[in-house]
Structure 1
């Protein structure tokens, strides 16, 4: 997938709703699990104040993913 491709846009939208879901759509299971768990931990520890940082990182990561071998 190239940056800005339809697949990346769909993945970014998925990550908007649930952190890591876009990575899961892209087939990146480890990245999806790490981002989902990390977002949950940060949301819980900071009582909702800084969970959005991981959430936004997840969106950007899904949108900028270039695929294996790039």
Structure 2
């Protein structure tokens, strides 16, 4: 069974990363990447909240989008 791009596992990981940055990487077993994306999601949240002082800091969503793409294109080495 294929575990590369477009597999069901990668689609689920991408959807999970769209909600919480790094969650998809964690589901794929990539703990360091998961911590990286979660850290930058929190930094993006904090920076955009400090700049805009709004309840909808868009930095979290931008990082989530890139984390989603990163999880979707993952192909494990064999």
TM-score by length of 1: 0.90
Matched residues, number: 69
SS in 2 for 1:46: helix
Larger Rg: 2
Distance in 1, matches of 2:59 and 2:18, equals: 15
Aligned to 2:59: 50
Deviation at 1:32, TM superposition (A): 0.2
Deviation at 1:52, TM superposition (A): 1.9
Unaligned runs of 5+ in 2: 50-56
Deviation at 1:56, TM superposition (A): 0.3
Q: Which moved more, 1:33-42 or 1:60-69?
A: 60-69
Query: What do you get for the CA RMSD once the two structures are aligned?
Result: 1.1
Point out 4+ residue stretches in structure 1 off by more than 4 angstroms: none
Q: How does 1:1-70 map to 2 (within 5 A)?
A: 1-47=3-49, 48-69=57-78
Unaligned runs of 5+ in 1: none
TM-score by length of 2: 0.81
Provide Cα deviations, 1:6-62, integer angstroms capped at 9, x if missing partner: 000010111111110000000000000000011111111111133322110000000
